[in-house]
Structure 1
Amino acid sequence: MEKFLISAGLVLCLVCLVKCVRFSQYLFLRFCKALPSSFLRSMGQWAVITGAGDGIGKAYSFELARHGLNVVLISRTLEKLQAIAEEIERTTGSRVKVVQADFTREDIYDHIKEQLEGLEIGVLVNNVGMLPSIFPGHFLSTPGESQNLIHCNITSVVKMTQLVLKHMESRRKGLILNISSGAALRPWPLYSLYSASKAFVYTFSKALSVEYRDKGIIIQVLTPYSISTPMTKYLNNRITKTADEFVKESLKYVTIGAETCGCLAHEIIAIILNQIPSRIFYSSTAQRFLLAQYTDYLKRSISN
């Protein structure tokens, strides 16, 4: 028994040490410019961003253009894309290509493939996604068409990765960033469909990362908790990052590993939430809290 306790204690110490080392990496990368400015540009001439018309996708489009990449903007609303493209070209000098596509549909990928033909794509940001409602609710009361969400949150990641990855593999370099959610790190009742769809992105990305890391391709999944975007009704609270803040910080962590929350503040939140036992997290009391007090809190945060 004594040997067992000593061994268990050593294992626990080792786990804590690994977490401390990883957290130290975040601190270093957060406050130091560890990546050379040419790193992203070295992946290839073009970056492809889905859901580029708003929020995180729009922020990635501008930031990657500032790093010297030409960008392909893919989203549903042509007018938004054209306005963003004009501003990116004017402010950064990068070339911009616009592709109109509705990711709730399954028949769009031949058209996207044609539009990407001949481009040396070094970066893919699978960002497009849907959240049925920012407010918690039971599955049967979830608004919208569930198949649309599955196409948008899951099919888009698989299909866009298929289109781009084969060319990255032949060049033996590339970066794929898949935007998941903190809701993917454990099942979230009352956000069941969204949580499950983002869990697919999380698992798919981590598996691909192992498959292709020896071929010079970085595949990373990002699991932020709260970003102020149109999808989240421009939520405003202490833990919420703006899209621009999140994107600029997340690009510092592209070499840190297969997964990251994308910002130091959300890494801390993930550590705290991970300490909550499942029996508490999934208790009836916790679910009632989400439906009542948390809903009221969200309404106040949105109105502010």
Structure 2
Amino acid sequence: MDLIELFFIALGAAVIVYYGVRLLLFSRMLFPKRWFPLSTSFFTSMGEWAVVTGASEGIGRAYAFALAEQGMNVVIMSRTKATLDQVAKEIGHTTGQRVKVIVTDFMKDAFSEIEVQLRGLNIGVLVNNVGMLPSFIPSKFLECAQLDQTITKVINCNVKTMAKMCRIILPGMENRGKGVILNISSGIASIPFPLYTLYAASKVFVERFSQSLQAEYNDKGIIIQAVAPFGVSTRMADYQTTNIVTLSPEDFVKSSLLYLRAGDKTYGSVCHIVLGWLLQSIPLKILYAESMLLSLQDYVKKKAQKASVSPSTATLKKCRNR
């Protein structure tokens, strides 16, 4: 047997081992309870309080309920006091846990006030959920209405708020040597995504920031994870009908918490993990074809028209819940 034969045999064996390991790692995602178990007291062992931004509805509201059901008191934050008060009442009535309401507009620099209101709380979990789309209808960068203002708003809401909230809460976790930070990203940040350019790019920041922060503070006993869902039936997704791909906020949150120990990034559910793999497997030339982009745009427009939502009223000018 000559050297060339040996080389190709070794190369083939290496490829088999490589894909075998990847298949094993992927198979773990199918059974998160077995591979990434959490004790019943896990969340309460992190601290007494959980803080959730954008908690008045959608994914944020679902996280607030789920963490309260785990025995944590929760701080819920958003812009609308009436809605927050109602959510607080429902959480207290359902779980018996304490709820603190902080009314704030993340488009404004209110972080000093937030820090004052959180002072003295033993915060074990932070969920950075608040975020915004530049426009409900996907569009090219230069076609976005009021582009200069929109750039500032997206960066302030999706990027600055997350970093500032981590700056406020992370020191206490470091001092205690434990804590959990979940930063909500998006599945479309898995690849450069035309028509969602600004939004997807802001979510790439969320992922890289989270992953780098986890590397910095992993040895401090702190879990920092980017959560990147695809379809979830929320205001941002025009409350699409739930199915195997589009999950309710409650089902998604319940699933995503099972993957808390699965690494510094998770898609949060089996179906979204498969979607992420498929999206990264499709050649970009196909995804970037003009016909494909126009089809995506038309699909969203039709859904908006069906829901009697015009592009002008669907544009998200403020930080919204997911």
* Pair 12,133 (structure 1): closer, same or farther in 2 beyond 3 Å: farther
Alignment pair present for 1:164 and 2:169 = yes
Please say if residues 51 and 126 of structure 2, whose CA atoms lie closer than 8 Å, have aligned partners that are also in contact: yes
Distance in 1, matches of 2:7 and 2:208, equals 33
Which of 1-10 and 119-128 deviates more? Answer: 1-10
> What's the offset of the Cα at 1:19?
2.6
Distance in 2, matches of 1:291 and 1:91, equals 41
Residue 208 of structure 2 aligns to a residue whose secondary structure is helix
* Pair 299,22 (structure 1): closer, same or farther in 2 beyond 3 Å: farther
Q: Hey, what does 2:203 align to over in structure 1?
A: 198
* Pair 199,83 (structure 1): closer, same or farther in 2 beyond 3 Å: same
Residue 83 of structure 1 aligns to a residue whose secondary structure is helix
Q: Hey, what does 2:88 align to over in structure 1?
A: 85
Please say if residues 75 and 99 of structure 1, whose CA atoms lie closer than 8 Å, have aligned partners that are also in contact: yes
Distance in 2, matches of 1:251 and 1:203, equals 20
Alignment pair present for 1:130 and 2:132 = yes
Q: Hey, what does 2:122 align to over in structure 1?
A: 120
Provide TM-score, normalisation by structure 1.
0.93
Which of 45, 50, 62 matches 2:53? 50
Q: Hey, what does 2:315 align to over in structure 1?
A: none
Which of 136, 147, 154 matches 2:159? 154
Alignment pair present for 1:25 and 2:28 = yes
Q: Hey, what does 1:264 align to over in structure 2?
A: 270
Distance in 2, matches of 1:296 and 1:111, equals 40
Give the partner amino acid of 1:52. Answer: A
| Cα deviation code 1:25-56 (max 9, x no counterpart) | 22212689932111111111000000001100
> What's the offset of the Cα at 1:257?
0.7
Provide TM-score, normalisation by structure 2.
0.88
Give the partner amino acid of 1:260. Answer: T
Give the partner amino acid of 1:217. Answer: I
Residue 30 of structure 2 aligns to a residue whose secondary structure is helix
Distance in 2, matches of 1:136 and 1:199, equals 18
* Pair 130,219 (structure 1): closer, same or farther in 2 beyond 3 Å: same
Please say if residues 49 and 74 of structure 2, whose CA atoms lie closer than 8 Å, have aligned partners that are also in contact: yes
Q: Which runs of 5+ in 2 are unaligned?
A: 309-322
Give the partner amino acid of 1:283. Answer: A
Please say if residues 235 and 301 of structure 1, whose CA atoms lie closer than 8 Å, have aligned partners that are also in contact: no
Give the partner amino acid of 1:209. Answer: Q
| Larger Cα-atom Rg | 2
* Pair 6,285 (structure 1): closer, same or farther in 2 beyond 3 Å: farther
Distance in 1, matches of 2:22 and 2:64, equals 32
Q: Hey, what does 2:319 align to over in structure 1?
A: none
Give the partner amino acid of 1:155. Answer: K
Distance in 1, matches of 2:10 and 2:189, equals 32
How many residues are aligned here? 301
| Root-mean-square deviation (Å) | 2.0
Structural mapping, 1:172-191, within 5 Å:
172-191=177-196
* Pair 45,288 (structure 1): closer, same or farther in 2 beyond 3 Å: same
Q: Hey, what does 1:75 align to over in structure 2?
A: 78
* Pair 2,153 (structure 1): closer, same or farther in 2 beyond 3 Å: farther
> What's the offset of the Cα at 1:202?
0.8
Please say if residues 36 and 260 of structure 2, whose CA atoms lie closer than 8 Å, have aligned partners that are also in contact: no
Distance in 1, matches of 2:74 and 2:217, equals 24
Residue 35 of structure 1 aligns to a residue whose secondary structure is coil
Q: Hey, what does 1:291 align to over in structure 2?
A: 297
Which of 115-124 and 9-18 deviates more? Answer: 9-18
Distance in 2, matches of 1:242 and 1:283, equals 31
> What's the offset of the Cα at 1:97?
0.6
> What's the offset of the Cα at 1:300?
7.7
* Pair 143,165 (structure 1): closer, same or farther in 2 beyond 3 Å: same
Residue 51 of structure 2 aligns to a residue whose secondary structure is strand
Residue 190 of structure 1 aligns to a residue whose secondary structure is coil
Give the partner amino acid of 2:190. Answer: L
Distance in 2, matches of 1:33 and 1:194, equals 31
Which of 206-215 and 132-141 deviates more? Answer: 132-141
Distance in 1, matches of 2:20 and 2:283, equals 22
